[in-house]
Amino acid sequence: MRADPIRRFLAEQDPPTPCLVVDTDVVAARAREFRAAFPGALIRYAVKANPAPPVLDALVAAGAGFDVAGPAELALCLARGAEPADIAYGNPIKKPRDIAFAFEHGVREFTSDAPDDVDHLGRHAPGSAVSIRVVFDAPDSVTPFGRKFGCEPAEALDLVLRAAALGLRPGIAFHVGSQQPDVTAWDIGIATAAKLFAEAGAQGIAMTRLNLGGGFATAHRTGVPSLDAYATTIAAALDTHFPGNRPELLLEPGRVFVADAGLLRTEVVLVAQRGERRWVYLDIGRYNGLAEAENEAIAYRFEPVDPPGGPSGPVVLAGPTCDGDDVLYQRTPYQLPLALRTGDRLDVAGTGAYTASYASVGFNGIEPLRTYCLGRWGDV
Ligand SMILES: *Cc1c(COP(=O)(O)O)cnc(C)c1O
């Protein structure tokens, strides 16, 4: 139903494929629903999910703040009218000069997970709020972060004390992994954080801020928990682990604000029978928009625009480039009509997040995924 303006645009304009169409009204609606589910929490949209200016405009209008990974995303948010006070620099991996740039532009909220970075913040972002990101054994998300980010809870107290000694204002952060379908992951994170709040309190450091990260999943071929299910679990975990003294909450949703607002249209380049398997090559692949098909992590839904009729059969789905890794799905079972031919089009719903922002700038001469934004903040 929500995709109607998108399909109307595609029918009327018939833009060249591949392309992504995003409905900014849906983005704004998602942000409002999210705010209602987490009343009082500070919302910081993870810009990397979809940095299209109209998307940011819709979120500024909806009253959201932003989580940026570096100076370019920061400058973009400021250019779209975001207030520096509503921007958090959530990337624990950052150069000292990028910290200084953010501080000069008014950012006072950072995340850190290593002693050197805490020191850099003490020097270049004096007095700022710094959430110490912890890693813990959470249920696997669909696209987990592994051990790249976060310190062990046992090291976190040292970082909290170090930050406080440098005049920073420490808090705790965690991220349960993107596309996290297991709501209990937040309970584990909140329990871990509560222990650290108590330990820091015993050392005379009163922390007030807890950053629950992102990770809220969106539906593709399988359903995911509702926003209410996430919110209920998180509220219950806060009541259990922070009885009577809830910390100030920060949330960094990315995917959940934009995925369902976008639809991608692609065209069949070639169909070829290779041994037992029928290969369908699309003009979209891992390098020009469907990067999250890596390891077949996200199994998108592909729907023929004008189904040719007749029976369907199994396919391997692959992208258009001259790269052996540009295969979308060979283990995940997909069925498409046997009559599908070159030039037929397919729609891929739920693709507003981590598609255009992941597209290469010109591998094999293919341009980045073209994005059209519709709705009140749209650009077409
Ligand atoms: C990517 C990212 C997010 C957003 O994650 P989603 O799974 O898209 O909600 C939030 N916080 C940080 C630090 C991130 O790197």
Answer whether 49 contacts ligand 1 (Cβ < 6 A).
Answer: yes
Ligand 1 touching residue 183 (CB < 6 A): no
Mean pLDDT of the chain: 97
What is the predicted pLDDT for the residue at 221? 94
Predicted pLDDT at 144: 82
Q: Which atom of ligand 1 is nearest to the CA of 133?
A: 13
The whole domain housing 345 covers 260-374
Half-sphere exposure in the Cβ direction for 312 (13 Å, CA): 13
Q: Using alpha carbons, select from 90, 210, 96 the residue that is nearest to residue 156.
A: 210
Q: Is the pLDDT of residue 73 over 90?
A: yes
Q: How many whole angstroms from its chain centre is CA 249?
A: 18
Structure tokens at 14: 């018939």
DSSP 8-state symbol, 192: H
Per-residue model confidence (pLDDT) at position 69: 98
Whether 40 is in a domain gets the answer: yes
Same domain, 62 and 125: yes
Paired strand residues for 287:
none
Residue 3 has pLDDT above 80, yes or no: no
Q: Are both 141 and 30 inside the same structural domain?
A: yes
Burial class (CB in 10 A: 0-12, 13-18, 19+), 66: buried
User: Above 80 in pLDDT, residue 359?
Assistant: yes
Q: Sort 179 into a burial class: Cβ within 10 Å, 0-12 / 13-18 / 19+.
A: buried
Q: How far is the CA of 120 from the centre of ligand 1 (A)?
A: 23
Six-digit token string for 40? 């009082």
Q: Residues 217, 279: one domain?
A: no
Residue 172 maps to which CATH number? Answer: 3.20.20.10
Query: What whole-number percentage of the chain has pLDDT above 90?
Result: 96
In total, how many domains does the chain have? 2
Read off the pLDDT of each residue in 109-134 and give the average, rounded to a whole number.
Answer: 98
Rounded distance from Cα 142 to ligand 1 centre (Å): 13
Q: Residue 76 — very low, low, confident or very high, per pLDDT cuts 50/70/90?
A: very high
Let me know whether 106 and 196 are in one domain: yes
Ligand 1 site, residue 122, Cβ cutoff 6 A: no
What amino acid positions are annotated as catalytic residues? 322
Residue 145: which pLDDT band, with cuts at 50, 70 and 90?
confident
Mutation to probe ligand 1, out of 111, 117, 178 (largest number of atoms < 8 A from CB)? 178
pLDDT score at 304: 98
Residues 213 and 282 in one domain: no
* 242-271 average pLDDT score: 97
Query: Domain boundary residue among 213, 243, 258?
Result: 258
Last residue of some domain: 226, 258, 290?
258
State the Cα–Cα distance between residues 28 and 20, nearest whole angstrom: 18
| Banded pLDDT at 1 (limits 50, 70, 90) | very low
Q: Are residues 248 and 269 in the same domain?
A: no
Ligand 1 neighbourhood includes 213 CB (under 6 angstroms): yes
Same domain (yes/no): 158, 43: yes
pLDDT for the residue 137:
87
**Is 2 part of a structural domain of the chain?**
no
Cβ-count burial 236-268 (b if 16+ within 10 Å, e if not):
ebbeebbeeeebebbbbbbbbbbbbbbbbbbbb
Distance CA 195, CA 134 (A): 12
pLDDT of residue 2: 47
Distances (CA, A) of 227 to 221, 255, 256, 274: 18, 12, 9, 43
Check whether residue 28 and residue 55 sit in a common domain.
yes
Residue the block writes with tokens 């051990």: 147
Residue 181 Cβ contacting ligand 1 at under 6 Å: no
Q: How far apart are CA 344 and CA 307, in angstroms?
A: 9
Question: Atom 2 of ligand 1 has which residue's CA nearest to it?
Answer: 46
pLDDT band at residue 141, thresholds of 50, 70 and 90? confident
Look up the pTM and report it: 0.97
Name the one residue in this structure whose structure tokens are 């409905």. Answer: 23
pLDDT tier, 272 (very low <50, low <70, confident <90, very high otherwise): very high
pLDDT of residue 242: 98
Query: What sections of 183-295 are H helices per DSSP?
Result: 184-202, 227-241, 255-258
pLDDT at position 143? 82
Final residue before a domain boundary, out of 258, 275, 305: 258
Beta carbons of 255 and 179 less than 8 angstroms apart:
yes
